[in-house]
Amino acid sequence: MPGNVRAVKESVMSIELGAWLRQQRQARGLSRPEMARRLIQAAEARGDTSIPCLDSVCHNLYRWERGEDGLSERYKLYCCQVLGIPPAQFGPGQPDGQPAATQTPGAITLAIAPGLPGVPQLTQAPCLVPGLADPALLSPVAVAYRGIQEPDMGDSAIRQEVLMAAHEGSEHAAQAEQRGIGDTTLEQLRADVTRVSREYMTGEPFPLFLEMRRVRGRMHDALDRRMWPRDARDLYFLLGCINGLMAVAAKDLGYPQAAEELIRAGWAYAVACDHRPLMARLRVEAADVAYWDQPKRSRDLALSGLDYLAEGPNAAYIHLKEGRAAARLGDADAARRAIGEASEARERPHRDDLLVIGGEFNFSRASQYYLAGSTLIEIPGAERDAAAELERAIERYEAGPEPGEDHSRHSVMITRIDLATARLRAGQVEGAVAVLEPVLSLAPGRRISGLALRFSRTRTELAQPIFRGSAQARELEEQIEEFGRETIGAGVHTLSGGPS
């Protein structure tokens, strides 16, 4: 027999077998997932541990019934066990193996599972069945779904096909109803993100980084489950948040490249769930990472963040990050303008999921004063204005957070270093020593890379001729150098673009 003829015959046989298998399953009232479960049970009962998971068996069954794949002898035996038929009766044809009865031209034979009542032939003119000009082309049509429906003499092939399509839709809908993640799990994951976001404001970076990674691992496990679209959106949002938090921790630990990679991961999830406030926040975190080495790129990233968020505390945060980069680039006017725009943005009402989570995802008024001061200190001759903003920030920090706010210990320490730098520029070494005392006494585990970077600028001021011969200046220089030896940021030395 020629190869192409053999292939055609095998294809026809596969399609006929698939139609027969689907008919037998539906005649017993079995949905496709239930049939797959019973096949797995049959395999396990025989000690077969190689059978795949439920989803894979469902997919295989779908392909078998469409005639796209043939069944192995192993699966034929399992099908026989589930269908309750001997192996000799597996497949289309009469149960006793005898040839099928002669079919009257134009008749439609309704194939019924073995052991069920016979159905009379429905004789019908070919012209009444669209697409069937030749009576010989008429094929058996299954009518059973979760039990046999007794047809009457008026049933047509069109009706049976419509019923079959409806039944198939029901089966797929049953699979869509399956939900592998519940509200309790999603609430717990959201609570975990909220907790680590707020704990990071005062905690040690590395232990919290490990905890963030654990929480993210649970989210990755949840991604492998079947979920509803709204569950996927919530999970993507939380994954974007946790990757963003891990990026902040990686930056503080002194690994900016890892921070950028985590930001890109968070961005992918934020885009997938179309969460614009989260996209804005991730943009500004990327701007913060680029600030020391690439101030122009930092400014561009911050400006792009404003495309996603224009009002509220986090919009004020973006304006100030853009202004700080502008000041570093020498654009004093743009920097001062950004400080004013930040104040205006905060006053415009705004509410979103990030502000509800809080912690690192919120921006307090105290921190707004701190960042305004840090922006001004980059402008030559603006030391007095910078000191005024930084002193106001310290007052706010010491007064405690306002309702709905959290205060970052890291930001408090950075504020003190920048204020010390401003005072040194004004020749006030005693004032610098006093404001730095809480910073220099920090435990090594809390000495983030950002502190060491800002101390580099403070040391530059201490090296000015005005402090030559000053015992206080020399002692402060030694204390800062000792502080840097025990900084947690192991990768600080790689940041060649930091201040010197």
pLDDT digits (tens, 9 = 90+) for 175-230: 665 667 888 889 999 999 999 999 999 999 999 999 999 999 999 999 888 888 88
Residues 245/213, Cβ–Cβ less than 8 Å: no
Q: What angle do CA 204, 206, 210 make, to 5 degrees?
A: 120
Within-domain flag for 34: yes
Residue 9 has pLDDT above 60, yes or no: no
Asked, for residue 261, whether it belongs to a domain, the answer is no
Confidence class of residue 169 from pLDDT cuts 50, 70 and 90? confident
Assign residue 35 the CATH number of its domain.
Answer: 1.10.260.40
Q: 422 lies in a domain? A: no
**What pLDDT score does 263 carry?**
98
What's the pLDDT score for residue 487? 76
Measured CA to CA, the distance from residue 55 to residue 256 in angstroms comes to: 41
Give 490 or 402, the one with higher predicted confidence: 402
- Alpha carbon distance 16, 3 (integer Å): 20
Taking only the tens place, the pLDDT of each residue in 486-499 is 777 544 333 333 33
pLDDT confidence tier of residue 139, bands split at 50, 70 and 90 = very low
Note the pLDDT of residue 387.
96
pLDDT of residue 228: 84
Burial of 9 (0-12, 13-18, 19+ CB in 10 A): exposed
Radius of gyration of the chain (CA): 36
Range name among 41-50, 109-118, 188-197 with the lowest pLDDT average: 109-118
Which residue matches tokens 């059978």?
Answer: 51
Largest CA distance in the chain: 117
Backbone CA torsion sign across 267, 268, 269, 271? positive
Q: Is residue 429 situated within a structural domain?
A: no
In sequence order, what E strands does 14-142 have?
107-108, 122-123
Q: State both tokens at 96.
A: 């006793």
Q: Which of 225, 226, 258, 224 has its CA nearest to residue 243?
A: 258
pLDDT in tens, 292-306: 999 999 999 999 999
Closest alpha carbon to 317 in 421, 405, 194: 405
In a domain, 5, yes or no: yes
Structure tokens at 347: 């006053």
Query: Of the ranges 89-98, 161-170, 282-291, 344-353, which one carries the lowest mean pLDDT score?
Result: 89-98
Task: Please tell me the distance from the alpha carbon of residue 307 to that of residue 397, in angstroms, as a whole number.
Answer: 30
Q: Which residues pair with 123 in a beta bridge?
A: 107
117 band by pLDDT with thresholds 50, 70 and 90: very low
Q: Which of 116-125, 238-247, 441-450, 486-495 has the lowest mean pLDDT?
A: 116-125
* Better pLDDT: 182 or 285: 285
For residue 15, being part of any structural domain is answered with yes
* CB of 362 closer than 8 Å to CB of 405: yes
CA 56 from chain centre, in angstroms, equals 25
Bigger pLDDT: 325 or 93? 325
Q: Which of 131, 123, 17, 27 is nearest to 63 (CA)?
A: 17
* Mean pLDDT lowest among 147-156, 332-341, 443-452: 147-156
Average model confidence (pLDDT) across the chain: 82
- 313 band by pLDDT with thresholds 50, 70 and 90: very high
Distances from the Cα of 423 to the Cα of 239, 304, 338, 386, 432, angstroms: 42, 34, 24, 10, 6
Does the residue 35 lie in any domain? yes
Which residues, including other chains, have CB under 8 Å from residue 77's CB and lie 6 or more apart? 87
Q: Sort strands 122-123 and 107-108 into parallel, antiparallel or unpaired.
A: antiparallel
Q: Count up the domains in the chain and report the number.
A: 1
Neighbour count for residue 499 (Cβ, 10 Å) = 15
Continuous segment of H or E residues that includes residue 185: helix 183-199
Print the domain residue range for 69: 1-90+139-145
Concatenating the DSSP letter of every residue in 220-233 gives: HHHHTS---HHHHH
Quick check: 438 pLDDT over 90? yes
Higher pLDDT, residue 173 or 492 = 173
DSSP one-letter code for 87 = G
Q: What share of the chain has pLDDT > 90, as a percent?
A: 59
Q: What is the structure's pLDDT at 170?
A: 65
pLDDT tens digits, residue range 55-86?
778 888 888 888 877 788 888 889 999 999 99
User: What average pLDDT score do residues 388-417 get?
Assistant: 95
44 in a structural domain: yes
pLDDT reported for residue 485: 85
Question: What are the angstrom distances between the C-alpha of 295 and each of 148, 254, 329, 375, 499?
Answer: 74, 18, 7, 13, 12
Burial (Cβ within 10 Å: 0-12, 13-18, ≥19) of residue 196: buried
CA distance 493 to 487: 11
DSSP letter for each residue of 358-374: -GGGS--HHHHHHHHHH
Task: Band the pLDDT of 474: cuts 50, 70, 90.
Answer: very high
The CA–CA distances, whole Å, from 161 to 23, 164, 355, 360, 467 equal 12, 5, 54, 58, 93
